[in-house]
Amino acid sequence: MRTDSGTGARRIREISYAEAIREALREELLRDPRVFLMGEDVGIYGGTFGVSAGLFREFGPDRILDTPISEAAIAGAAAGAALTGTRPIVEIPFSDFLSLALDQIGNQAAKMRYMFGGTVRVPLVVRSPAGSGTGAGAQHSQSQEAVFCHFPGLKVVVPSTPYDAKGLLKTAVRDDNPVVFLEQKLLYKDTGPVPEEEYLIPFGKAEVKRAGSDLTIAAWGRMVGMCLDVAERLDAEGISVEVVDPRTLVPLDARTITASAAKTGRLVIVHEAVKTGGFGGEIAALVADSEAFPLLKAPIRRVAGFDIPVPYSPNLERNAVPTPERIEQAVRDLLSPREKLAGSIAGQSR
């Protein structure tokens, strides 16, 4: 078993994001008899998005538990189970409905280890599909990672690739603290290299997905792939964009983000969640409070979802969240002469 953030010289194959998560679940179920999976339709049906397909047949109803449709009951039972020595993994089929379990996750599980002076452990993983793009409407398409970052005691993970999804989920299952693990739905079918050998990815370690020198983009989840596509397109014009993926928002690797911003002198933050109250504001404040701030050549720019419910209409849904065109325009604006940049910022404020 290895703990790192690179694929090295190991045996690699291409599998999907969903398959990588399923592999992580299966391997942890095999490794530790205290681990079990519970949630709505995770058993015979295989999960709302098919991620747990086949696990019920292999591990049976004692390890793969179908539950009633009650997010509060699921999370509360899992928190209690974690306190008594097991290691539950919860699947909530849409992250929007985590709001129904906020008391159990944020007000109970997140606080218990602190309140009991470290004498108890709460090894609970809450997995949930997040984000837009499937035409599921306003109540099933939100990105709410910032909500969970606001509860001290919770760790928050948003992987962008199959490799990261598997390595981070295995780390989450072995953590003795509650972890909210958000899987953006449009990533499930994406494929990428994943080693056959076991590996873990530590929390709090960002990855520079693409090195660059002119501007830094910080992004997570499915926005990472979109930003990489934009960076590749701009590279043909001689514009060098660095893309940094924090991978975990709590704990956050502030050092890698600020070092990149200091190196390039420009920072764009991209996330699918709505702009107001989004975690991008926290990263902007972090950089503004750091040694990187005097080295910036332009203001920090955020490209985020608009402050509206996610529309059902496919065209409206696509344009309610960041698009490659919006990201590219933000990059070009920050690389423009100062006079043009001032005009662009004034236009954004109107």
- Domain layout of the chain by residue ranges: 2-200, 207-349
Asked whether the predicted pLDDT for residue 96 surpasses 70, the reply is yes
Q: Give the start-end residues of each E strand in the chain.
A: 2-3, 12-16, 35-39, 64-66, 87-91, 125-130, 155-157, 179-184, 191-195, 199-200, 207-210, 215-219, 241-245, 248-250, 267-274, 301-305
Contact 239, 264 (CB under 8 A): no
pLDDT tier at 12 (50, 70, 90 boundaries)? confident
- Widest pairwise Cα distance in the chain: 65
pLDDT in tens, 314-332: 999 999 999 999 999 999 9
Separation between Cα atoms, residue 258 and residue 273, nearest integer Å: 22
Strand 64-66 vs strand 12-16: parallel, antiparallel, or unpaired?
unpaired
pLDDT tier at 11 (50, 70, 90 boundaries)? confident
CATH architecture assigned to 207-349? 3-Layer(aba) Sandwich (3.40)
Common-topology check for domains 2-200 and 207-349: yes
For residue 146, give the nearest of 322, 289, 305, 329 by alpha carbon: 305
Q: What pLDDT, on the 0 to 100 scale, is given for residue 348?
A: 60
Strand 248-250 vs strand 155-157: parallel, antiparallel, or unpaired?
antiparallel
Instruction: Indicate the CATH number for domain 2-200.
Output: 3.40.50.970
| Active site residue ranges | 140
Strand 191-195 vs strand 199-200: parallel, antiparallel, or unpaired?
unpaired
Separation between Cα atoms, residue 3 and residue 198, nearest integer Å: 9
Confidence (pTM): 0.92
Contact 149, 105 (CB under 8 A): no
